[in-house]
């Protein structure tokens, strides 16, 4: 008897196209779910900044609290920041609190008032007024710690991101991580990014980069005297700001050049000058001043410093157009003056910095530029001015810088700063 061939029921197997469609839909749904989860866990949050001031009840104001460079200013600021941080870390705002920073210590009567900025991160959906009330409640519980008595103000002020930037760039020595009150500190690579070193200046002779400089106020630039040995006419010079010497963010004419009267081109002693700009610079995120150190500030051997400039990358090479940065370490004058080094040529007004291998160093075109260090509060201070050295990047031949602390009084006499 004829029996028809058995047929496979189409219901027993999935069509390959159907399988692919189901897989695609499943993957899409998983990706969408993950995306929404990431959004709500991370991107749903944003930073909020607040300003308040705190009266320090048991500290009298002294001249030592007039500058962030002094030990007294730094110590008191750190104690205040620590008290505020501890208060929030022990509160129900511990997960929202990021960081606080004393922007300024000022005199009120005979006492001290600290202007403080605080950063929090919370969901965009949270009620801003409720968060502000909770912050105020924590601050009101501050009283005393470690013999320091603090009375917070009755109110706090919400700041926009731009407000915070404006507040922090009016003070000295703030790099991007401090301007945003970030927890991260990153300095990597050799090429600087926009805003990394906002005090860096290119001093240009007839519109061509000739020397570096450091912005120390809205009107004054610190640099080296040897830059002007052959060209002392201010009308030939301009100052530019930004990481590029070809397309700077700002260009300002020079009004006056004040080189140290006792600069010695043979010994290179007193290699320091200040340049007065033709008009004041408006401070922004990418252009503002560095801090000047106290005359008594101790520059410790083997401590980390950074040198920046547009100098050549090899001895005898051409200058570069994009700002370079290099991490170096302070070398003691005793080591620097050893026979294998400079054999006694490094004088008391000088400072050595480099790396043992010689791989990182200032070079031609970096002259007059800054050597800077960061303090414990993330403020940056100019401690050296690129002055001289034997060639560039050789072992046992570190860069030699003008020691800024040795000329702190001279700078004040010339500029009033």
282-335 residue pLDDT tens: 999 999 999 999 999 999 999 999 999 988 776 667 778 899 999 999 999 999
Architecture of the 200-277 domain: Beta Barrel (2.40)
Is 226 tagged catalytic?
Answer: yes
Of residues 176 and 365, more confidently modeled: 176
Residue 3 has pLDDT above 90, yes or no: no
What's the pLDDT band for 264 if we cut at 50, 70, 90? very high
Instruction: State which fold the 47-159 domain adopts.
Output: Alpha-Beta Plaits (3.30.70)
Q: What is the pLDDT of residue 13?
A: 45
Per-residue pLDDT tens for 156-212? Answer: 999 999 999 999 999 999 999 899 888 665 555 588 899 999 999 999 999 999 999
Catalytic residue among 77, 122, 217, 367: 367
Residue 387 has pLDDT above 50, yes or no: yes
Q: What is the pLDDT of residue 321?
A: 86
Per-residue pLDDT tens for 205-263? Answer: 999 999 999 999 999 999 999 999 999 999 999 999 999 989 899 999 999 999 999 99
Residue 41 has pLDDT above 60, yes or no: no
Is 367 tagged catalytic?
Answer: yes
Of residues 50 and 359, more confidently modeled: 50
Please state the pTM of the whole predicted model.
0.84
Instruction: State which fold the 303-406 domain adopts.
Output: Thrombin, subunit H (2.40.10)
Q: What is the pLDDT of residue 145?
A: 60
* Comma-separated ranges of CATH 2.40.10.10 domains in the chain: 200-277, 303-406
Task: Dig out the tokens for 65 from the structure.
Answer: 């609290």
Across the range 43-50, mean pLDDT stands at: 79
Residue 389 has pLDDT above 50, yes or no: yes
* Comma-separated ranges of CATH 3.30.70.960 domains in the chain: 47-159
Is 11 tagged catalytic?
Answer: no
Catalytic residue among 226, 260, 269, 387: 226
Catalytic residue among 269, 271, 361, 366: 271
Q: What is the pLDDT of residue 416?
A: 96
Averaged pLDDT of the chain? 87
Residue 7 has pLDDT above 60, yes or no: no
What's the pLDDT band for 393 if we cut at 50, 70, 90? confident
């Amino acid at each position: 008897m004829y029996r028809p061939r058995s047929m496979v029921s189409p219901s027993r197997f999935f069509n390959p196209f159907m399988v692919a469609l189901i897989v695609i839909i499943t993957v899409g749904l998983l990706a969408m779910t993950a995306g929404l989860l990431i959004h709500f866990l991370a991107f749903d949050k944003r930073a909020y900044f607040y300003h308040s001031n705190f009266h320090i009840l048991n500290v009298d104001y002294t001249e030592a609290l007039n500058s962030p460079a002094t030990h007294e200013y730094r110590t008191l600021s750190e104690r205040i920041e620590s008290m505020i941080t501890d208060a929030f870390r022990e509160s129900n705002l511990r997960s929202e609190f990021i960081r606080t920073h004393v922007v300024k210590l000022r005199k009120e009567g005979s006492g001290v008032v600290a202007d403080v900025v605080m950063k929090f991160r919370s969901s965009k959906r949270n009620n801003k007024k409720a968060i502000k009330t909770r912050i105020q409640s924590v601050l009101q519980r501050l009283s005393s710690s470690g013999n320091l008595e603090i009375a917070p103000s009755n109110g706090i002020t919400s700041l926009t991101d731009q407000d915070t930037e404006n507040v922090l760039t009016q003070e000295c020595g703030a790099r991007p991580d401090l301007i945003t009150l970030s927890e991260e500190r990153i300095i990597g690579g050799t090429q600087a990014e926009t805003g990394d070193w906002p005090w860096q200046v290119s001093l240009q002779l007839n519109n061509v980069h000739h020397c570096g400089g450091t912005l120390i106020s809205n009107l004054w630039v610190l640099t080296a005297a040897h830059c002007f040995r052959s060209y002392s006419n201010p009308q030939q010079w301009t100052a530019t700001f930004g990481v590029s010497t070809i397309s700077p963010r700002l260009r300002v004419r020079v009004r006056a050049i004040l080189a140290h009267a006792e600069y010695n081109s043979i010994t290179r002693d007193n290699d320091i000058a200040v340049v007065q700009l033709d008009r004041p610079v408006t401070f922004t995120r990418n252009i503002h001043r560095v801090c000047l150190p106290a005359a008594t500030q101790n520059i410790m051997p083997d401590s980390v410093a950074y040198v920046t400039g547009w100098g050549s990358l090899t001895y005898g090479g051409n200058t570069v157009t994009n700002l370079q940065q290099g991490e170096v370490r302070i070398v003691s004058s005793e080591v620097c003056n050893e026979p294998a080094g400079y054999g006694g040529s490094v004088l008391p007004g000088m400072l050595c910095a480099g790396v043992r291998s010689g791989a990182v160093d200032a070079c031609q075109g970096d002259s007059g530029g800054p050597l800077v260090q960061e303090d414990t509060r993330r403020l940056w201070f100019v401690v050296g001015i690129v002055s001289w050295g034997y060639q560039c990047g050789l072992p046992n031949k570190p860069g030699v810088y003008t020691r800024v602390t040795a000329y702190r009084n001279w700078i004040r006499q010339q500029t009033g700063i």
